[in-house]
Amino acid sequence: MKKSKIIFIVGPTASGKSDLSIKIASKYNLPIINCDSKLLYKRFDIGTAKPSKIDQSNVKHFMVDVLKDTERSNLRWFLDESRKIISNLSDSNVVPIVTGGTGQYIWGLLEGWDPPKIEPNKKLRNKIEDEIKKFGIQEIIKRYSKIYELDGHLDLENPIRLIRIIERYEAGFKGEPTGRLKNHDIDFLILGINVDRKKSDELIRKRIKIMLEMGWIEEVKDLLNDGINPKSPPMFSIGYREILEFLNRELDQKQLEEKIYFSTRKLLRHQDNWFKKTDKRIKWINFENSFKEADIIISEWLTK
């Protein structure tokens, strides 16, 4: 089997992963494979910072707008679909750029994870979704931690991920997926965008304001008016669930922005656990000079 070459670009939310990926992809004529669970869904555009139609027409993007709001992603499905794409590109000697903030997807591809196939438990999912809505996700984590060993799992405050973890336990599987593909061997380069805390906070607040000015609230209203269920998987994404609270008059405008900010900060802490500064596989580049530094490293790596 041919050895695949893959470039991974990782980093915290609002660090410019997508912009950098598009610039690099444009220069070297490379495709991009999305590794962010939120971008999988059609019509959820503003709050996911989805690449524009122009960017998507200039650079080939895979794994964007591939799910309806009624469908659910899971690790096994994502890895299977992405591996097909990577294999086809490799057969054509094309090197993809894999980028996104969902650490489980990134490491699953890079390390060759082979998670078990678990059928969806719709009854359980609906039950937990109702509980999260009624009591809040922190309370639900606390309650289910008394039943299952949730400590040690990353990103528990992501409702979809929490539900999937509990679903795995219910099906008899414990902990994170430990299976690995046989003969998994890729030639990879991982670039991580490094942003200091103060700058990161500034970027997050700025991005939230821009998204709201672009019509994020109106986007959610339109989705609801078109019959999309407020309990659908993408509506549990950061920002969308807070806007639902705003539309239900549970928050005012200022509280909305603050709650989205704090939810995003929590996400960043989880991303820091997935992409550790001590991980020697990751070549960290500075946010302020990311394209120049990435360009030098990638040009050398592609020609070696």
Q: What is the pLDDT of residues 228-262, one digit of tens each?
A: 999 898 998 999 999 999 999 999 999 999 999 99
Confidence band of 136 (pLDDT split at 50, 70, 90): confident
We report the CATH number of the domain holding residue 72 as 3.40.50.300
| Average pLDDT score over residue span 91-100 | 96
The mean predicted confidence, pLDDT, of the chain is: 92
- Select from 152, 170, 188 the last residue of a domain: 170
Task: Write down the pTM of the prediction.
Answer: 0.87
Distance CA(229)–CA(165), nearest Å, equals 23
- pLDDT of 177: 59
Indicate whether 154 pLDDT > 90: no
Residues near 136 by beta carbon (within 8 Å), at least 6 away in sequence: none
Distance CA(275)–CA(160), nearest Å, equals 20
Helix (H) or strand (E) holding 5: strand 4-10
Indicate whether 155 pLDDT > 70: no
Indicate whether 178 pLDDT > 80: no
Residues 50, 214: contact at Cβ < 8 Å? no
- Residues 144, 277: one domain? no
Nearest CA among 74, 73, 95 for reference residue 86: 95
- Residues 103, 129: one domain? no
Asked which of 91-100, 114-123, 199-208 is least confident by mean pLDDT, the reply is 114-123
- Residues 64, 182: one domain? yes
Indicate whether 195 pLDDT > 70: yes
Distance CA(219)–CA(247), nearest Å, equals 12
- Residues 111, 235: one domain? yes
- Residues 39, 99: one domain? yes
Question: Crossing angle of helices 240-247/216-225, nearest 10°?
Answer: 80
Residues 20, 208: contact at Cβ < 8 Å? no
| Average pLDDT score over residue span 102-119 | 90
- Residues 230, 265: one domain? yes
Q: E-strand spans in 76-150?
A: 97-99
Residues 198, 206: contact at Cβ < 8 Å? no
- Residues 89, 161: one domain? no
- Residues 264, 213: one domain? yes
- Residues 139, 49: one domain? no
- pLDDT of 176: 59
Distance CA(271)–CA(49), nearest Å, equals 17
Indicate whether 180 pLDDT > 80: yes
Indicate whether 1 pLDDT > 60: no
Read off the pLDDT of residues 113-125 as tens digits, 9 standing for 90 and up.
998 877 778 888 8
Distance CA(80)–CA(75), nearest Å, equals 9
Distance CA(140)–CA(145), nearest Å, equals 8
- Residues 105, 137: one domain? no
100-109, 149-158, 281-290: which has the highest mean pLDDT? 281-290
Nearest CA among 74, 94, 110 for reference residue 29: 94
- Residues 51, 155: one domain? no
Indicate whether 68 pLDDT > 70: yes
Q: Look up the domain containing 34 and give its range.
A: 4-115+177-303
Structural domain count, the chain: 2
- Residues 194, 158: one domain? no
